[in-house]
Amino acid sequence: MSKLKRLLRAMSHLKDRILVLIFLVICVIVYSVISIRSHEQFQTFGWDLGYFDQLIWKVSRGIYPFSTLSQVNLLAGHFAPILFLFAPLYWIWSDPRMLLIAQSALMVFAAWPLYLLAFEKTQNKLFSFVVVFSYLFFIGTQWSILNEFHEITVVPLFLAMIFYALEKSKKVMFWLGIIGLFFAKEEIAILVAAIGLMIFLYFKKKKLGISLVIFSFLFFFFLTNFFMPAISEKGIYQHEHLSSVAKTPQEFLLKIIVDPFFALRSLVTPPEKIKTLASSLLSFSLLPIFAPLGILLPLIEQFLIRFLYTGPQYTFWQNVNHHAAPTAILLAISSIYGATALIKKVHLSKKRLLQIITVLIFVTIVGQDILFKAPIHSIFKKQFYETQPWMRDNSILLTKVNDFSPDVSVATQNSLFPHLSQREKIYLLPELNDAEFIMIDLHDGPNKYAPLSRNEMKELIDGLTVDGKFTIVDKQGEAVLLQRSNK
């Protein structure tokens, strides 16, 4: 190839990559706008945005990161040291909306190493872009970004980095990805074990693969049995909720071993689990099932972890919240390997086959977007841009309360919590503790008063005022501010 041809080819690649980056920036803006607007319309809650906002705000101020919602510190709630890296963002803008923007950027830009991986494997620009498109608009990706804020949304970026690094033998990138996963959440160590097994079987790096498998399991059980209980204010690992029949990860593992029929029943009941699996694979035109088994191991691990769970949080096995984040990128990655496997098996030219696959992926991802009424559609709805009177009433009182010193303790409801969480002490009603003020909004809406109902909230406030424990000091429409009496 002549120097001129190489130069023209390099310029063409650069142009395509710039266009992909521009597309990613646009996606970050769109997802950020939707996330922020949802927050401004009081559709974010104490669990989870308010919880993370208080902790990260405390880290940014050099305050011990103890949550007055969970009653444990940041590393005991979930082992997520990655959250410390978000604190400097609050030096720029100390607002929970900063977390929503950061989350949008992190999940969207996981598509960059995904694009590089797709192009590395196929040398096809259009196919590589459509894989990116399918990941970004998969229903699980959309809900992961738009369902408040969660630490697990950093996982797709690290996963995409790991796969690309393995293909290109980039050791630094690989280990950054692995360390990032270990620091994202304690349960992700099991996913790293699956990655280790994949490295052993598919990439034939046996020593590295086995070492990762062994270390990952040891790390997970060390965290959940020793480290997290030791640093917790409650003295326990507080997420032992894998099943109603087992209180600890060890008990759950033993249950699966001694009662395999329990595992089989858990995987297929309720039928919603099978529906989630089918819709996830169909969204990517069934391409993942053609990928080599070794490549599929991390994806299989994620579906197993989600489906073996028996409740009560049914959204755990659906694609409607952050639990779908790792699955989303793994489906896209598996689609790349599925396409390359088909190229070797189908008697069509590589170019022709990739054209067909590209069209199929585009059609199926747009189809699932329409079928499941994807949340990104909200940006086209009139009510998305409306600020109703009750929202303005809330904003007036919120401004007043946020002018108080961060040392002033406040109790509030679920929907107002993340608007008041940058303070030392904040409580979710009906918990009061030493709250000096209470702010509530009695305009009805879904999940606004959890764990109470609207009527229970009204009864609580009426009881506190009748008893003289609190007095109303300000009121804007249905938004009410109460102060503890000195009696």
Beta bridge partners of 73: 66
Band (pLDDT 50/70/90 cuts) for residue 487 is low
Q: Do 485 and 471 contact (CB within 8 A), yes or no?
A: yes
Residue with the two structure tokens 């693969």: 209
Radius of gyration of the chain (CA): 24
| C-alpha span between 431 and 420 (Å, rounded) | 15
- Residue 255's pLDDT band, with cuts at 50, 70 and 90, is confident
What value does the mean pLDDT take over residues 174-182? 98
Pick from 141, 148, 149: nearest CA to 83: 149
Residue 66: count other Cβ atoms within 10 Å of its Cβ.
19
Conformation bin of residue 452: beta by default, left when phi > 0, alpha when psi is -120 to 50: beta
> 353: closest CA among 294, 288, 287?
287
> In the structure encoding, which two tokens stand for residue 57, read together?
């705000």
- What residue has token string 């950027």? 105
Per-residue model confidence (pLDDT) at position 250? 80
Other beta carbons within 10 angstroms of residue 378's beta carbon come to 16
| Contact between 220 and 187 (Cβ < 8 Å) | yes
Residues 79, 186 contacting (CB under 8 angstroms)? yes
Q: Are the CB atoms for 374 and 142 separated by under 8 Å? A: yes
What is the percent of the chain with per-residue pLDDT over 70, rounded to a whole number?
Answer: 98
- Categorize the per-residue pLDDT at 68 as very low, low, confident or very high, splitting at 50, 70 and 90: very high
Q: What is the pLDDT of residue 240?
A: 60
Confidence (pLDDT) at 275: 95
Mean pLDDT of 230-256: 80
Please state, in angstroms and rounded to a whole number, the distance separating the CA atoms of residues 49 and 323.
15
pLDDT band at 243 (very low <50, low <70, confident <90, very high): low
168 — pLDDT class (breaks 50, 70, 90): very high
Phi, psi (rounded to 5 degrees) for 66:
-100, 130
Q: pLDDT (tens digit, 9 = 90+) per residue, 425-473?
A: 999 999 999 999 999 999 999 999 999 999 999 999 999 999 999 999 9
Q: Within a 13 Å sphere around the CA of 3, how many CA atoms are in the beta-carbon half? A: 0
The residues that bridge with 476 in the sheet, in sequence order, are: 479
Distance CA 11, CA 396 (A): 54
pLDDT for the residue numbered 11: 81
pLDDT single digits (tens) 310-323: 777 778 889 999 99
Residue 176 CA: distances (Å) to CA of 85, 86, 397, 431:
14, 17, 44, 41
pLDDT in tens, 356-366: 999 999 999 99
Q: List, in sequence order, every residue forming a beta bridge with 426; answer none if it has no partner.
A: 410
What is the strand order of the sheet 437-441 is part of? Answer: 426-428, 410-412, 437-441, 479-484, 470-476
pLDDT tens-place string over residues 55-64? 999 999 999 9
In the numeric block, which tokens belong to residue 383? Answer: 């009510």
Q: How confident is the model at residue 120 (pLDDT cuts 50, 70, 90)?
A: very high
How far apart (Å, rounded) are the C-alpha atoms in residues 433 and 411? 8
Mean pLDDT of 317-342: 96
In Å, what is the CA distance from 471 to each residue of 171, 210, 303, 390, 426? Answer: 62, 64, 51, 21, 19
pLDDT per residue as tens digits for the range 274-308: 999 999 999 999 999 999 999 999 999 999 999 98
Rounded Cα gap, residues 206 and 192, in angstroms: 15
List the single range of 111-125, 161-175, 240-254, 320-334 with lowest mean pLDDT: 240-254
Six token digits for residue 167: 């293909």
Q: Is the pLDDT of residue 332 over 90?
A: yes
Question: What pLDDT shows up at residue 241?
Answer: 57
In whole angstroms, what is the distance from residue 360 CA to residue 288 CA?
A: 13
Distance CA 457, CA 135 (A): 41
Residue 75's H or E segment, with its range, is helix 74-77
Let me know: does 423 contact 406? Beta carbons within 8 Å: yes
Q: How many residues does the chain have?
A: 487
Q: Output the CA torsion sign for 324, 375, 117, 21.
A: negative
Q: CA-to-CA distance for 478 and 468, rounded, in angstroms?
A: 20
Per-domain boundaries in the chain: 111-380, 389-484
What does the alpha-carbon distance between residue 247 and residue 404 come to, in Å, rounded to a whole number? 42
Tokens of 228: 């997290």
Which amino acid is present at 22? I
What is residue 431's three-state secondary structure?
Answer: coil
Residue 252 has a pLDDT of: 81
